[in-house]
Amino acid sequence: MAIPSLATSLCGIALSNPVLAASGTFGYGLEFEKLVDLDALGGLVVKGLSREPIEGNPPPRVYETVGGMINSIGLQNIGVRAFVSEKLPALARLRTAVFANVFGYRAEDYAEVVRVLEDHPGLAAYELNVSCPNTSHGGIYFSSDPTLLAGVVTAVKRVARRPVIVKLSPNVGAIEPLARAAESSGADALSLVNTFIALAIDAHTRRPRIGAGFGGLSGPAIKPIALRLVYQAARAVKIPVIGLGGISTGLDAAEFLIAGASAVQVGTANFWDPRSPVRIAAELADFLKREGVSNVSGLVGSLEM
């Protein structure tokens, strides 16, 4: 059998393979260029960008737990204006697709970050991190309220010429209403899942292991739940879905594609091996060859229930 093709497209964006580096796990990408060929990635999602710089949460910010890790970085970032002047020019020279992760605490914050990014080349699309409290509505999370979610997507779509991906949280009762709300308000794709709210305790000090108290659980421990949510979201909408949550091997990636994802993101695995996305793409190609699948698109949504 000929070498299987990993080439695919997402919202009209050509990808050499469907394995992307997830936001918050790969910095701004440039920090890793001495460790990994960035152009070998299917794409990379930079860490979240806000209107103004954010210092982040008090340490400790990361704690390794059974089957994964808990983090509470606090969305530390240099702010969108510093990003476009200090980071984006170098990123724009890459062949790989670069996605900007965007967050805010009001719909206007998201729209303003995207408005600034729209004036600069080098980005393929935006990914909206909606797992933030809406300060205009008493701290209700955008990710848990279909109406608030639709409002932020609509605000961004008014100013965005590039595709808009909405990153959904697993910390909800049902994923389908949120997926449909994002789609109906103009989202071009979904990515899921973000981290699960978690708590680790030091029994000796009787205090949290994380400086901010709660953190986000990621890694292999969440994979079965993430797979279920990706399957449910993909069945609920017609737009593409990007799957993430505990992917550390090519077989993991294949499972997410079979569940209905058109592409995947690798997150926690990058902390122990920044080359993980490239390795996982190679392992995915080997899996396709063994299974007699000529193109990676042949896996997408092939789950039989």
Active site positions, annotated:
132
| Distance separating alpha carbons of residues 29 and 279, to the nearest angstrom | 17
187 vs 68: CA distance, rounded Å: 30
CA–chain centroid gap for 187, Å, is 15
Of 221, 249, 236, 235, nearest to 301 by C-alpha is 235
Give residue 37's identity as a one-letter amino acid code: D
Residues 277, 266 contacting (CB under 8 angstroms)? yes
Kindly give the residue spans of alpha helices, DSSP state H, lying in 119-208.
146-157, 176-184
User: What CA–CA distances, in Å, run from 12 to 6, 145, 210, 240, 266?
Assistant: 16, 29, 40, 11, 21
Q: How far apart are CA 111 and CA 117, in angstroms?
A: 10
Output the six-digit token pair for 41: 């990635």
